[in-house]
Structure 1
Amino acid sequence: MKTHKTSAVFLGLALLLAVPACGGPKPDSDVLSTRYRTFEMSKKYVGEQTGSTEMGHLIRYFDDAERAALEVKVCGGKLCDPQGKLLDPEVNSHPERGGSLMYVMTGDGIIYGTFDAKLHSVHHSSLLAGSAAACAGDMIVVGGELIEVDNTSGHYKPPPEALDQVVKQLVEMGADLSQAKVKYFGLPDRAPPAP
């Protein structure tokens, strides 16, 4: 009996650690190597980067270099770009978005954002090239100050706990959330947790 249990444990471990062959399915990112639980985008959007979905829209996917330029950092409690420039829609030439920064967070806690969301061409999935996200939504940011954060994303449909993950990450990064409103899609608003 003991041999069978040991064999089953090794078989289970081998299956857990198995790496898919090239072109095979991606491993579930919340099983190994990520800090936060992630969520795949809805299957109806698979193929959108080639325009081969039922909606037929061609969605732009950012490459690694483009994505790196969109990483959200924290500078003195405020949100900034990788060069330390405060995020602001006026400065970033998108006052029409009312300070709304479309963002996603990876399973490793890296946050990417753009004021340049475009209907039928740039979506939350654009920022991670269709990969799984720990959260996705919009942030209202003015002069680097986070006014509001939510989990509104049609592509990822992140649950409330996903928004908790991004709030936790922002606090750990040093963001000042004392004036921020946390808007859970479909639930009452909440104040962010105290640091």
Structure 2
Amino acid sequence: MDHAHAAVKLQNMYRSFRHRRMLADTIIMELWGHAIDFARLNISTTFFFQCMNERSSNTRWTRIGFNASMVGRGVSENDKAQILAFQHWIEAIDPRHRYGRSLRLYYNQWCRSNAGNQPFFYWLDVGDGKVIDLPECSRSVLQEQCVKYLGPLERNRYEHIVSGGKVVHKQSGGDLHTQLEGISRGRDKWIFVVSTSGRLYVGKKEKGRFHHSSFLAGGATVAAGSLVVEHGILKYISGYSGHYRPTDDSIYRFLSFLGEHGVNLNGVEIDKVTPVIA
């Protein structure tokens, strides 16, 4: 299947989002731009080459379309939604969810190589690329860094709400406390996302294992960043996220969300968004 056909398949998939809800033109252009890049991967995951003997190519496309659709899940619910940056699309469609920043290094190598008709994931795991071991990210590190993508039941354990002006765990009702005594902010980083349906999820970041993409399994967000909360009282917010690259607007939406739920924002330290270099 050539790149043009792959691009048409993706265009049809995302057109359904537009028909369900009129998204902003900028969102449509962003999705289509990603779709063109995504087509360069030959729309292949390990599932693709594991089922090469299947009679129906439609079966393969159904599986591939499902992986791709996870990236845009939630976009149709909110015209302010933000999807994953492209380097982390690769992470999302990889069945192993290997860390996107590391996968991108191997993707760049694949682009430079004479891989012929070998799709990226085939090249990486089975084909000519399986012997490649990059100094910037060894093969052992690539295989070890698999990002956890939460399912619906697992996600519930990370959901928080605002009650009495405090950030509390939804299930237990306990105050969120992100810092242990003597632990610096930089060493004990807690991250959050707000889903397109307005749910707040908070958890501790683990590089290469648990990131912003973990909470919603690669789905769209309306806000993402890091925070410091002491016994339920918000102290610090940062809008940084390499996975979603939020704008300052997304932080303002998060602040508005908190204010509407009774959080006192006086004295809260707020870091504006800084550009993220791929």
TM range (shorter): 0.7 to 0.9
Identity of aligned residues (%): 22
Q: How far 1:97 sits from its partner (Å)? A: 5.8
SS at 2:19's partner residue?
helix
Matched, 1:17 2:20: yes
More helix by share: 2
**Gap change, CA 1:33 and 1:46, over 3 Å in 2:** closer
Aligned equivalents of 1:182 and 1:109: distance in 2?
A: 21
Given candidates 21, 43, 63, the residue that maps to 2:86 is 43
Find the partner of 2:246 among 148, 153, 158. 158
Task: Please give the per-residue CA displacement for 1:142-192, whole angstroms capped at 9, x wherever unaligned.
Answer: 1111011121001110011011111111111222212212221239xxxxx
Please provide the CA RMSD for this pair: 3.0
8 Å CA contact 1:171, 1:177 repeated in 2: yes
Change (3 A) 1:95 1:85: farther
Give the TM-score normalised by the residue count of structure 1: 0.74
Tell me the distance in 2 between the aligned counterparts of 1:103 and 1:29.
17
Paired residue for 1:33? 77
Provide the C-alpha distance between the structure 1 equivalents of 2:163 and 2:182, rounded to a whole number of angstroms: 22
1:117 aligns with 2:173: no
Aligned to 2:131: none
The answer for the alignment partner of 1:108 in structure 2 is: 197
Distance 1:170 1:65 in 2: 25
> 1:139–1:149: 8 Å Cα contact kept in structure 2?
yes
Would you say the 8 A contact 1:107–1:133 is kept in 2?
yes
**Alpha-carbon displacement from aligned partner over 1:14-73 (angstroms, at most 9, x marks no partner):** x6239xx9636646745x433x61111111112426128235331111111121111121
1:84 aligned partner: 173
Cα 1:95–1:124, aligned 2, differ >3 Å: closer, same or farther?
farther
Separation in 2, partners of 1:122, 1:64 = 16
Map of 1:143-182 to 2, 5 A cutoff?
A: 143-182=231-270
**Among candidates 162, 176, 179, match of residue 74 of structure 1:** 162
1:104 and 1:113 in contact (8 A); partners too: yes
Unpaired stretches in structure 2, ≥5 consecutive residues: 1-14, 22-60, 106-141
**Alignment partners' CA distance in 2, 1:33 and 1:138:** 24
Instruction: Check 1:78–1:54 CA distance in 2 against 1; reply closer, same or farther (3 A cut).
Output: same
Deviations 1:52-106 (A, max 9, x none): 823533111111112111112112111110121000135xx79746364210111
8 Å CA contact 2:74–2:221 kept in 1: the answer is no
Mapped contact 2:90–2:104 kept (Cα < 8 A): no
Inter-CA distance 88–156: structure 2 relative to 1 (3 Å threshold):
same
Unpaired runs of at least 5, structure 1:
1-11, 188-195
Aligned match of 2:29: none
* 3-state SS, counterpart of residue 171 of structure 1: helix
Structure number with greater CO (CA < 8 Å, separation at least 6) is 1
Report which of the two structures shows the higher radius of gyration computed on alpha carbons: 2
Structure 2 partner of 1:54: 104
Aligned partner of residue 159 in structure 2, secondary structure: coil
Is the Cα–Cα contact under 8 Å of residues 79 and 86 in structure 1 kept in the other structure?
yes
SS at match of 1:46: helix
Change in 2 beyond 3 A, CA 1:94/1:81: farther
